[in-house]
Amino acid sequence: MHLRQALFVTATLIAFVAPQLVLAEAALRMAETADMAKMAPPVPKDGPKVIAECAAVKCTTIDLTHALEADYSTLAGMPHIDRLMVSYTDLSSLDPLLAMTQLTELHIGGTKVQDLSEIGQFTKLELLHAQGLGLSDISAVGQLGELKELVIGSPHLSDITALKNLHNLKRLDLTGAPVSDISALTALSNLETIELLNMSQLKDISPLLDLPNLKHVSVTVANLDAAGQDVVARLKAKGIHVQAFDMMAVC
């Protein structure tokens, strides 16, 4: 009798405490988001100085993120660079960078670039971060056969058919894109990590069940219908780590 009573008490405590822990975790996440929103903006870098220092030592990586007054055309004469970060700058076109076909990594997120039609010239790219651009057509991205990581969420991007050709892709982030159909992703047999946050048009995530190497999924479940919620449960049952967010994440 005592054992039964003890088990009953334990079960009752678990039933009461578990939801409280979930709520506490959600509150903590919201608090952290609020703290991040209050953080001071990053200090802009001196673009010409960063470029000059890189040229002097023939650096292989140059970080111009948030840089001011950078002369991007000078980068074309620096063949020693294979990793270029120019996110959150005033870069408005790929034209000044087109000679840098040696690049294996390119970050252009948050810039003024509106056209990726010539991105296919960067045949050695293994990583491309191009989030937050005013893009609706990413067909040229499908030419980047060596790509292993792609971050390309855009508020105007609704068609991701071109991504079916990226057979080496391991990580994909479509956060913020109004994509409703992700069936093209079933061709990506090497995909391990996918982020589908703040995608209000996405209801069906069942294609994820067909990805043999998928290990990590981040998704805003508030957007999903009942069938989508069931897919989340099935992914977890397969041993896939799913981060399911009940609310729209603040970026």
Domain tally, the chain: 2
pLDDT at 230 over 90: yes
Examine residue 127 and state whether it is found in any structural domain, yes or no: no
The residue segments making up the domain with residue 10 are: 1-39
Examine residue 221 and state whether it is found in any structural domain, yes or no: yes
Question: How far, in Å, CA of 236 to CA of 251, rounded?
Answer: 26
Examine residue 191 and state whether it is found in any structural domain, yes or no: yes
Strand partners, 67: 45
Higher pLDDT, 98 or 248: 98
Examine residue 96 and state whether it is found in any structural domain, yes or no: no
Examine residue 35 and state whether it is found in any structural domain, yes or no: yes
Q: What is the structure's pLDDT at 251?
A: 42
CATH assignment of the domain containing 211? 3.80.10.10
Mean pLDDT score, 140-150: 97
**CB crowding 166-177: b at 16 or more within 10 Å, else e:** beebbbbbbbbb
Percent of the residues in the chain that have a pLDDT greater than 90, as a whole number: 72
Examine residue 241 and state whether it is found in any structural domain, yes or no: yes
Examine residue 81 and state whether it is found in any structural domain, yes or no: no
pTM above 0.85, yes or no: no
